[in-house]
Amino acid sequence: MTKLDEAENHPLTVWARRLEHFRRMRLEIGVGEPIAITELEPEGNFLWMLEIDRWRSALDLMGGTAALTCALANHFDEVTYLDTRAPMTAYARRRLDADGVRNVILGDGDPTSLPYDDASFDFVAAHDVLDALLSARERSAPRPLLKAVLTECRRVLRPGGGLYLRAANSRHFGILEASTSVAMRPQAPNDPSSRAAVSPRWLNESLQGAGFRDVRLYYVEPSREWPTALIPATPTAVRVYESRGHFVSLLGRVRRSIARAGFHTRLYSALVALAYL
């Protein structure tokens, strides 16, 4: 094999071609918002942590570009994709066809009143679902909206099933970004992406209030756009994580001091919850 052939088949080269293909699809279909997809597509990298007994059926709420849907389809017998935005659903259909994914059903319905029977799924993914819903319902209050979604997630899950949820962390200090490669985008107060943030405490209490008996919270590092690590949302885990030797800058020392002082909720921009029945 020649060096040129090796370069053409290099994983990053293949991903770059896929990214360009998906971007062209987005423009053709008219999806106006950015595609949440990176060179390595980290969506689904939490699945190794998932503790459920059955992997038969999964529901991807407000599945958007279907990046997570494709990851789920590699592990579950059947995946249902649901999104209220027609351009996103059209994009997802073309992406699934392009990837040759055959075990996904494209659904239609309201995440706050799901058109499925009780105990229909082994797993539900709510990947930035609050952001997506607020972009479609500009005048909605975020917390009641998310509580309604959590109640429906609890209803359609089978006993022993699990929920994955990702959301922005409202307790985060924006100045404390760990990586300079992550763009700091100013957000207006009425921007759905800024209103879609919740605190770790509120999220934990809301999940338990919805009926989830086992709730595990994690911080996402360095950002939702580039989720390279999940850190348990406990003071001890954060102190260990922030003691890494490569944080030698002034910002790194500030972050370590904040972690040691117990203000771990301030350090990370996004939250992940794994919750079980």
Quick one: pLDDT at residue 93? 93
Q: How many CB atoms lie within 10 A of CB 79?
A: 27
Does residue 24 lie in a domain region?
no
Quick one: pLDDT at residue 178? 46
Does residue 35 lie in a domain region?
no
Number of domains observed in the structure of the chain: 1
Does residue 212 lie in a domain region?
yes
Quick one: pLDDT at residue 179? 44
Does residue 36 lie in a domain region?
no
Mean pLDDT per 10-residue interval, the chain, length 277 residues: 52 59 61 45 79 96 92 95 92 90 93 96 95 81 94 97 96 62 41 74 97 96 80 92 72 84 90 96
CA distance 155 to 1: 54
Which residues form the domain of 196? 44-276
Q: What is the CATH number of the domain that holds 210?
A: 3.40.50.150
Mark 110-134 as b/e (b = at least 16 C-beta within 10 Å): ebbebebeeebbbbbbbbbbbbbbb
Contact present, 133 and 167 (Cβ < 8 Å) = no
The model carries a pTM of: 0.80
CA distance 93 to 65: 9
H helix and E strand count, the chain: 10, 9
Does residue 265 lie in a domain region?
yes
Does residue 34 lie in a domain region?
no
Does residue 148 lie in a domain region?
yes
Quick one: pLDDT at residue 181? 38
